[in-house]
């Protein structure tokens, strides 16, 4: 029975791994779609701000310029910190591999395989939850305050 469960876990894990393989061209298309959605969302927010605050065209132009400046600064910071981020990721990966090796010495082969399958399943759940939140477009932390309330 244990072997059957273990075999089923491997099949499920393998199918998830195969399903995660994405064509680079599909990634490019998804990236383009995401950029279009972001631009549309920015325009909608700008229109809403213009309507709520009764902004004139000069103010709208200045605000758009401010947003572009901030976006450029953020992109520059992202590029500047890229090496540091990669170093941290490598360090985390090494620690994860070390823990994995230690767990392998502690657990029996069956326990280790079960632990691995459980870890992968949890990771898939987290990915799905993140993807679901991303598609809804809800940001609870940045919720717009209701009129009449102060920040």
Residue 30, pLDDT score: 85
- Per-domain boundaries in the chain: 22-55, 57-108
pLDDT top residue among 12 and 64 = 64
| pTM value > 0.75 | no
End-to-end CA distance of the chain: 59
- Is a pLDDT exceeding 80 seen at residue 109? yes
- Kindly report, residue by residue over 49-107, the tens digit of the pLDDT: 999 999 899 999 999 999 999 999 998 888 888 888 888 999 999 999 999 999 999 99
pLDDT band per the 50, 70, 90 thresholds, residue 135 = low
DSSP secondary structure string for all residues of 1-53 = -HHHHHHHHHHHHHHHHHHT---HHHHHHHHHHHHHHHHHHHHHHHHHHHHHH
Q: Locate 53 and state its tokens.
A: 């605050």
């Amino acid at each position: 029975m244990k072997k059957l469960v273990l075999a089923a876990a491997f099949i499920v894990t393998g199918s998830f791994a195969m399903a995660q393989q994405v064509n680079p061209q599909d990634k490019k298309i998804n990236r383009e779609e995401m950029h279009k959605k972001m631009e549309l969302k920015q325009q909608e927010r700008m229109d809403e701000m213009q309507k709520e605050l009764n902004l004139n065209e000069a103010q709208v132009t200045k605000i758009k310029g401010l947003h572009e400046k901030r976006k450029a600064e953020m992109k520059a910071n992202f590029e500047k910190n890229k090496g540091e981020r990669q170093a941290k990721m490598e360090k985390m990966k090494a620690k994860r591999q070390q823990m994995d090796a230690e767990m392998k010495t502690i657990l029996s082969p069956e326990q280790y395989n079960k632990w691995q399958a459980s870890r992968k399943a949890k990771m898939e759940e987290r990915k799905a939850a993140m993807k679901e939140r991303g598609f809804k477009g809800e940001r609870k932390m940045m919720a717009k305050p209701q009129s009449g309330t102060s920040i």
